[in-house]
Structure formats: structure tokens, C-alpha cells
Structure 1
């Protein structure tokens, strides 16, 4: 497992050993691939496959545009990321977060390292209200918790210790 920058110094992504790409790139590739989206819709018994595909393509583009705009204008990523659970709102570091745009059917999941510093752990197409109610989002819940554990095991408590971990990984 390695951490790579997406929009340094604010947004990073996990690159899991078994994957070719980091999570952000892997997910965006999937969410902009018509063939992948069609198969996903069919395997999830979506009745209007074309609408589902077009909606997810629009959602992925909206996320990419928003993240680009936020980082280009040096705005806080908190405009996009929100606490995953209501009880994590006041926690300063290593809180579990979800990227959320109204009427967008895609979620990126991240661990908040510090103010305006996040590391993406994965993402899912929103298929249920609660993460635990769909296999894909439930898997993402496990991944985000494992990522937080990994960061804690590597003594990440703030932005400085996070950058130390990244520097150690690049040595």
C-alpha cells in the first residue's frame, strides 16, 4: 500500500498493491467507462441502463470538475468532503469522510488527515441509503476503516506526520 498525490498538497490517494492504479484514477477510469457502467447496471438489476450510464458519466465529470476547481482556486476540500458519520464532525484528524454533491450518485471516500488534507481510500456508486446495505459500499466501509488503521499504525496524527510517512515511502 502506497500513498500518491492527486492534487498536492491537499488531496492524495491510496494505491493498493493489488491494483494497477491509485484509487482515484481507478475509480474515474471505471466511472467514465461506458462498458463498465453497463455491466454494473445490469448486474445490479437497473431497469433503465442507458439513463444509469449517462447519469454516472455526468456524475464522474461533475466530481472531476469540482475537485479541479477547488484545488485550482485553493479552496478547502471540505467544500466536497463531509464526515461519513454524524458523530465524526468534531474530530480534528483521521476522520472518515465522503465526497458528496447533491443529486450525484457517486461517492469518493477519504480519511481526513488535517485541515484541507485528505487521502482517498476508495469510492462507490451509491445504490442504497446505508453503506452496509450494498456489497460494494460495504466493502468501501471496510477499506476506509483499514486505511485509517494503517495511518494510525504508522503514527499519522496530523499533516506533518502524514508527509513524513509519504517521504519514507518514497525513499
Structure 2
């Protein structure tokens, strides 16, 4: 990873940020929710992971993800627009053993339904500033069990390492542009 581009998700608001995908040029935050509302993408995903969801139909799994994603997106945007202090209650440390909130901490947010499969991954800069690095439908206990969640873990680590290596701090946030 050579350079990471970061944009604001909400215009003129510098606390809820997203990494831009190098291939598409789109913010990860936007791409996550586009994928989670794309029936063709979801059908192919659940077809590949049929053995993990064997107790429900693919159609039921798709409906579950679409509904959960819609509620999660609305919840995150509402909190980010109106009460950024609450982002800290949504995003939890990725490592359950991390009891303290740290700078450049790998973090995750869950979907809104009980036992949600949805995860949004982010780097915590401070109590109210998060940089979204990606998201995944997590069907297994650990991220290491599936390649798509392993990829998200790798991306999270790469972005965190990049920010630390480049000496990213709160003064850099002021120069971040809004998603076009």
C-alpha cells in the first residue's frame, strides 16, 4: 500500500471518514452499502457460503442483510451528523481484550439486528473520529476462517500502519476533502 486517500463521508464534517478504494476511486463506506443492497452480489456471496447458512434459505439471508444494512447505514449517518460522541458507543475495539480506547485502534461496528452478520471496520483516531476501512458479512466466529474477512483484517492493518508511518494526526483531518 503506497498511499491512502481519505475523504469525509458527510460534507463539512471531519469526524466520520472513509478510505477510498484504489481500484474504483469510491469511498469504502459507500461501496459497502452498495454491495449490501445488491441482490446479485448477495446471491453470489451466499451461494459461495451456503454451507455456513445451511439453516436458512439464500433468499432469507439476502433479505436479512438488506434490511440490516439499511438500518445500520441510517444509524451511522444519523449519529455522525448529530452526535459524533456516540460513535464511540457504536465502534468497539476489534480485539476484545482491549479495554482501553487507544489512538489508531482497530475497531468494528456491528449491524443493528441481534447476532448481525454485518461488520464495519474502522481505525479510531480519537473518541469521535473514525476512518472506515471496509466491511464484511461475517458468518464465522473469527475473521481468519474466511478469505473475505481475512482481507478486511489485512486492509485494516495496512491502513493503520500507513497512518502511523506517515505521522497522521488530528491536524491532517482539517485537510481532508468531502466525498465527491
* Deviation, structure 1 residue 78: 1.1
Q: Tell me which residue corresponds to 2:89.
A: 79
Whether the 8 Å CA contact 1:93–1:112 is kept in 2: the answer is yes
Mean Cα deviation higher: 106-115 or 44-53 = 44-53
TM-score by structure 2 length?
Answer: 0.84
Q: Tell me which residue corresponds to 1:15.
A: 20
* Deviation, structure 1 residue 165: 6.4
* Deviation, structure 1 residue 164: 5.8
TM-score by structure 1 length?
Answer: 0.89
1:148 aligns with 2:165: no
Q: Name the one with the larger helix percent.
A: 1
**Aligned counterpart for 1:60 among listed residues 66, 69, 72:** 69
* Deviation, structure 1 residue 163: 1.5
Q: Tell me which residue corresponds to 1:24.
A: 29
Q: Tell me which residue corresponds to 2:5.
A: 2
2: distance between equivalents of 1:116 and 1:164?
Answer: 14
For residues 125-140 of structure 1, the aligned pairs below 5 Å read 125-140=137-152
**Structure 1, unaligned stretches of length 5 or more?**
none
Q: Tell me which residue corresponds to 1:116.
A: 128
**Structure 2, unaligned stretches of length 5 or more?**
none
Relative contact order: is structure 1 or structure 2 higher (C-alpha 8 Å, sep ≥ 6)? 2
Structure 1 runs (4+) deviating above 6 angstroms are: none
1:16-63 C-alpha deviation (Å, 9 max, x unpaired): 322241111111110011111011111112441001100000111111
Whether the 8 Å CA contact 1:42–1:49 is kept in 2: the answer is yes
1: distance between equivalents of 2:125 and 2:175?
Answer: 12
2: distance between equivalents of 1:10 and 1:165?
Answer: 12
